[in-house]
Chains A and B, each alone.
Chain A
Amino acid sequence: MPASPIDRETEEALIPLSALQHYLFCPRQCALIHVEQLWAEDAATAEGRLFHDKVDAGRAETRPGQRVARGVALRSVALGVTGKADVVEFRGRDHLTPFPIEYKRGKPKAHRADEVQLCAQAMCLEEAFGVPVPEGALFYGETRRRQGVAFDEALRALTRQTADAARSMIASQATPPPVHMPACRRCSLEALCQPARLEAPPSVARWLAAQIGA
C-alpha cells in the first residue's frame, strides 16, 4: 500500500529524518547542517557514509517467512519528515509487518538519538502501510550486535517532540548560539562551529582595540 501524494507545500516542509538525530545531539549542529548547509567530512562521517553505501547497495531478497527491502524511501506527514530506512524486513506469515533496521557504524550510545531516528522510520512505515510497527532494531558495526528497540509511547512522544522542535527551528532559519560541551570533540563540525570561541564571544570592537594597542 503505497503512500498517497500530498500537497506540494506540505511536501516541501518535510525535514530529513537525519535532522532528528542531529537535533538531539545538538540543536546548533542541526541548524548548521540543515539551515546553513554546512558540512564537514571527517574520518567518522566518511566511514559512516561508506558503511551506509554498502548496506544500501545490498539487494532485496525474499526468504521464507520474510521479505527484505533495502534503502527504502520513507516519509510521514504527521511527523513532517522524509528519509530512508537502511533495511526493512517484512515479517509475519503474510509479510505484512514492517521491521526497520538501522545500521550504525559505531557502538550503542547513552543518548536516544539512534532510537528516535529508528522510531521515526517506524512511524513513517505505519503511515505508509496502515499497520502497527511495534519494534525494530539497531545494528552497530563496532559491536556487530543487533539491538532490539520497542516503539513504546515514551519513545514515540520523544520522537514527535524532537520532530516538532527540529522542524520549527529549521523553519525559523535561525541558528542557535553554540553551547560548548564534551561531545563537541566528536562533532565533525566543531571547526565550523567554534563553540569554545563563540559560546560567549567578546565585544569585537573592544577586542580589536586591544589588538591594535589603542
Chain B
Amino acid sequence: MRRMLNTLYVTSEDAWLRKDGANVVVEIDGSERGRAPLHMLEGVVSFGRPGASPALLAACAEAGITISHLDPNGRFLARVEGPRTGNVLLRRAQFRAADNPTRGVPIVRGIVAAKAANQRTVIRRALRDHGDSLPGGGREALEAAERRLTDVARRTLAATSVDLLRGLEGEAAQAYFGVFNQLLRTGDPAFVFGGRSRRPPLDRVNALLSFFYALLGHDCRSALEAHGLDPQVGFLHSDRPGRASLALDLMEELRPVLADRLVLSLINRRQLAADDFTVEDAGGVRLNETARKRVLVAWQERKRDELTHPFFGESMPLGVVAHAQAQLLARHLRGDLDGYPGFVWK
C-alpha cells in the first residue's frame, strides 16, 4: 500500500516545465527555479499558464506520472496520463453496478455512513479539545449536531435505496455545516462561515474549502484511475457530462478528514490572515498566490500524517487512503467483498 506521495506543485503562474535528463525543471523567464528527479514523483500539478514541453509530457506519461494543469484559481484545465491504466472487466462491472438501482446501495451506504461518521469525528474532536471554552450555546449546538450525525450514520445502515441515502447525506450536511461556525474559534469577522457557497465561494472559509476540495478531487480521480476505475461513472453522484462523479463519490468520506479539519486548523492557528484572500467585485473570494503556496505546503504535510486504516488495520499516510479506498471499491465490484467499507476516521 505504501507508495510515494510526492506531488510537485508548481504555483507560479509564469512557470514553464521541461525535461532535462531524468529530471523535471521549472523555469521562469528562461531561468531555472527548481528541479526534481522524475522517479521521485507521483504527480505534477501546475497552476502556471505557459505549460510543459512535449518531451516532459512523454516522459511523465511513460513513467505513470500524471500531470494536471490548473488555472491560477485551481480550476481544472487538462491532464496528461500515461497508458498504464484501464481494466475493461472492472469498468464493465462498475457500469453494470451503476446501471442497476439496487446494486449501488452497498457502495453508497459505505460512503454516506463514513462521511456522517467522519463529520461527527470533526465535531467530537472540537468538543474534546475545546468543549469547556465554547461560548454560550456553542457546546450544546455541537452536542446536538454530534447526536444527529450519529443518528444519520445509523439510519444509513437500514436505508434500502440510493435516493434514501442521498437524503441522509443532505441531512448530515445540514447538521454539520449548521454548526461549522462554532468550530471556528478566532472570533475574527473575516473568518465567518456564511453557509456553503461554491460558485463562487462567497467568504474566505468557503474559498479555502473549495480549494482543498479541488485538490482532493484530483487525488481521488488519480487514485481511481490508478486502480482501473472510471472516475466519471458514480453511484451517489449520477452521470453528468464532464463530471467526475465517482471521484466526487470517493471524496465525500474524505472531505471532513483531509479538507475540513485542515481548514479549521489553518484558521484557528491563525496561519492565514484576511488579506491572504482577494475579494472580487461580484463578491467571489479566492486565495492569493502567496497564501496558496503556504496552503499547499500544509496540504502536503497533512497527507503525510500516518494513521491506521480501519479496514486494513495497516499504518499508512493519510494521502494513501484514497488509493486504499479505490482498491476496496474495485475489490467489491470484482466480488471479493460484499459491500464497500468506507473510510471511518476516529
CB 8 Å contact bits of B82-97 with A (1 = contact, 0 = none): 0010110110000000
Task: Assess whether B336 is in contact with A36, with CB atoms less than 8 Å apart.
Answer: no
Which residues of chain B are near A39, meaning CB under 8 Å? 84
Asked if A205 and B334 sit within 8 Å, CB to CB, the answer is: no
> How many Å from the CB of B110 to the closest CB on chain A?
6
Residues of B within 8 A of A178 (CB): 336
Q: Is A173's CB within 8 Å of the partner chain B?
A: yes
A176-214 to B contact mask, C-beta < 8 Å, 1/0: 011000000000000110100110010111011101111
The one of A173, A201, A203, A213 in contact with B336, judged by C-beta atoms closer than 8 angstroms, is A201
Interface pair B339/A208, CB less than 8 Å apart: yes
> Contact residue range for chain A?
20 to 34
> How far, in whole Å, are A197 and B328 apart by their CA atoms in the complex?
11
In the assembled complex, B275 has its CB within 8 A of some CB on chain A: no
* Complex Cα gap A57–B186 (Å): 66
Taking the nearest CB of chain B, how far is it from the CB of A188, in angstroms? 12
- Chain B residues lying within 8 Å of A198, measured Cβ to Cβ, are 331, 336-337
How does the 8 Å CB contact mask read for B138-159 relative to A, with 1 for contact and 0 for none?
Answer: 0000000000001001100100
A191-B1, A194-B327, A211-B344 given; A203·B338 CB < 8 A? yes
A interface vs B, CB < 8 Å? Answer: 35-39, 173, 175, 177-178, 191-192, 194, 197-198, 201, 203-205, 207-209, 211-214
Q: Within 8 Å of chain A (Cβ to Cβ): is B295?
A: no
Q: List the B side residues contacting A207 at CB < 8 Å.
A: 311, 341
Chain B residue with the shortest CB-CB distance to A175: B334
Cα-based distance from A194 to B324 in the complex (angstroms): 10
Q: What CA separation (Å) do A178 and B312 show in the bound complex?
A: 15
| Sample of 11 further A-B pairs with CB below 8 A, known A173-B89, A191-B2, A208-B110 | A35-B89, A38-B228, A175-B334, A197-B312, A203-B338, A204-B110, A205-B109, A208-B157, A211-B114, A212-B113, A214-B154
> Within the assembled complex, what's the spacing in Å between the Cα atoms of A39 and B336?
18
Q: Which of B317-346 contact A (CB under 8 A)?
A: 327, 331-332, 334-342, 344
Please report which residues of chain B, range 226-253, place their CB below 8 angstroms from some CB of chain A when the two chains form the complex: 228
In the complex, the answer to whether A204 meets B344 with C-beta atoms within 8 Å is no
Residues of A near B87 (CB, < 8 A) are 36-38
With both beta carbons as reference points, the residue of chain A lying nearest to B336 in the complex is identified as A198
B117 in the interface, Cβ–Cβ < 8 Å?
yes
Residues of A within 8 A of B90 (CB): 36
Q: A36-B90, A204-B341 are in contact. Are A214 and B157 (CB under 8 A)?
A: yes
Q: B341 touching A208 by the CB < 8 A rule?
A: yes
Residue in B1, B113, B150, B312 whose CB lies within 8 Å of A208: B113
Assuming the contacts A194-B327, A212-B153, asked whether A204 and B340 have C-beta atoms less than 8 A apart, the reply is yes
B160 → chain A closest CB, angstroms: 12
CB contact between B331 and one of A35, A191, A194 (< 8 Å): that residue: A194
Nearest-neighbour CB distance to chain A for B268, whole angstroms, equals: 26
Query: Judging by beta carbons under 8 Å apart, are B344 and A208 in contact?
Result: yes
In the assembled complex, B101 has its CB within 8 A of some CB on chain A = no
Closest B residue by C-beta to A191: B1
* B174 vs chain A, min Cβ distance (A): 19
The interface residues of chain B lying within 8 Å CB-to-CB of A212 are 113-114, 116-117, 150, 153-154, 157, 344
Shortest distance from the beta carbon of A58 to any chain B beta carbon, whole Å: 24
Please determine whether A204 and B338 come into contact, CB atoms closer than 8 angstroms.
yes
